[in-house]
Amino acid sequence: MSAGFTAREAAVLWPTYLRPPVVFTRGEGVRLWDTDGREYLDFLGGIAVVAAGHAHPHVVEAITAQLATLGHTSNLYFTGPQVELAERLADRFGPPAKVFFSNSGAEANEAAIKVARRWAKAAKGEQAVGIVAAEGGFHGRTLATLAATGKPALHPTFAPLPAGFTHVPFGDAAALAAAVGPDTAAVLLEPVQGEAGIRVPPPGYLRAAREIASRHGALLILDEVQSGTGRTGRLFAHQHDQVRPDVVTLAKALGNGYPIGATIATAEVADAMRPGDHASTFGGGPVACAAALATLDVIEPLLDGHVDKVSARLRDGLVELASRVGPDAAVRGLGLWFALELGPGARVGAKEVAAEALDRGLVVNPVTETAVRLAPPLVVTEAEIDEAIARLAGALAELAP
């Protein structure tokens, strides 16, 4: 990387990111190249975004053709791609359902919170505004989604945050039941917690959450911004538990890198909204929707066995690596979404492992201080997985021989 690039960035960008000294210039499939022409295996996928792989020809063609035809009209007018994508998502979620489009996961979750309160006030009374979420959960960085995020360390800097949010331990159905009551508008959960370190809840937890919410006349909102769009081997992670939420949110992989978010709700819940209650100038624009439709074209066939097959290969490789790390090491996750947990007693931390892996041409990231996250494109092959495991093994051996 050019020695002056860090200084150039610091001079003109807000100091909100800490980045390693590499500038990527090109991507294809599961591989990236930097300014020096060095090749990397991308096993982070832009934080579980590039599910169809970098520069997938079908996605590129769809974006290019749509942009050359009609790039933007705003939501004051109809466009075909928006309705087509909404029809497809509603069908996959299970009709009757309706969709609101935005530009990011935080926006999708913001819309989910708003529709939940709009619906609950009409159904249960003006006092029904409470949102019960999970400790360790991450739902975004707008003020409302930050309030919903169960990471207290992130809150004080931007206080006061919107009121009405309660947090309970993730995976604890009894604690969830105790927190939900007549003034609860919705329970908001990730089916698998991403930023907490790919934490999978105990069996039956999502079904218990569904029953608890229904018992109290509250909605169940599932934040599938990171877990959705095929990441776990199913289009929606909640399909593993055969649970139907009232609202589900998507973003990240939905546009394969082109910004788009979606809030899908049952028709009954969606119809609580009225014109003017919520809006987005760019949300669901024709190019973003064309990108999402093409991405789904690529991803959905991969969910018919491919992701399960390569997932097993990746898990086996990580389990073998964990056995070398130490007795506290473990592997968490499913589909193509894993954390290699080094454990509190490990001789090295996740940051050091990620940095050494990058030096060896493997892109992963330290999702927590002790856990390394892997979320490669869903098009990854078994050979590429073997190559990535070898590079990660080399990094671990270098740091803790």
Is 5 annotated in the active site?
no
- Residues 368, 398 contacting (CB under 8 angstroms): no
Secondary structure letter of residue 254 according to DSSP: G
* pLDDT of the residue at 5: 86
pLDDT band at 79 (very low <50, low <70, confident <90, very high): very high
Four-way CATH pick for 305-372+382-401: 3.40.640.10, 3.40.50.720, 3.90.1150.10, 1.20.1730.10: 3.90.1150.10
Q: CA 134 to CA 168: how far, in whole Å?
A: 5
* pLDDT of the residue at 6: 86
Percent of the chain with pLDDT over 70: 99
The edge-to-edge listing of strands for the beta sheet with 24-28 is 24-28, 31-34, 39-42, 362-363
- Over residues 133-185, the pLDDT tens digits come to 999 999 999 999 999 999 999 999 999 999 999 999 999 999 999 999 999 99
Residue with tokens 């093409």: 294
Four-way CATH pick for 57-302: 3.40.640.10, 3.40.50.2300, 3.30.460.10, 3.40.30.10: 3.40.640.10
Residue with tokens 């003109």: 12
Domains in the chain: boundaries: 57-302, 305-372+382-401
Is 252 annotated in the active site?
yes
- Average pLDDT of the residues of the chain: 97
Q: Spot the catalytic one: 42, 101, 252, 338.
A: 252
Q: What angle do CA 47, 99, 198 make, to 5 degrees?
A: 25
Q: CA 61 to CA 229: how far, in whole Å?
A: 20
- Cβ atoms within 10 Å, residue 399: 16
* pLDDT of the residue at 345: 84
* pLDDT of the residue at 36: 95
Q: Check pLDDT > 80 for residue 3.
A: no
Tokens of 128: 């029904």
* pLDDT of the residue at 2: 57
Mean pLDDT over 253-257 rounds to: 98
pLDDT band at 280 (very low <50, low <70, confident <90, very high): very high
Percent of the chain with pLDDT over 90: 96
- Over residues 283-319, the pLDDT tens digits come to 999 999 999 999 999 999 999 999 999 999 999 999 9
Mean pLDDT over 239-262 rounds to: 98
Q: Check pLDDT > 90 for residue 189.
A: yes
* pLDDT of the residue at 63: 98
Mean pLDDT over 66-90 rounds to: 98
* pLDDT of the residue at 4: 81
Return the closest-CA partner of residue 26 out of 62, 50, 5, 58.
50
Q: Check pLDDT > 90 for residue 401.
A: no
Is 304 annotated in the active site?
no
Q: Spot the catalytic one: 101, 138, 170, 338.
A: 138
* pLDDT of the residue at 295: 99
- Over residues 355-375, the pLDDT tens digits come to 999 999 999 999 999 999 999
Q: Spot the catalytic one: 223, 236, 241, 338.
A: 223
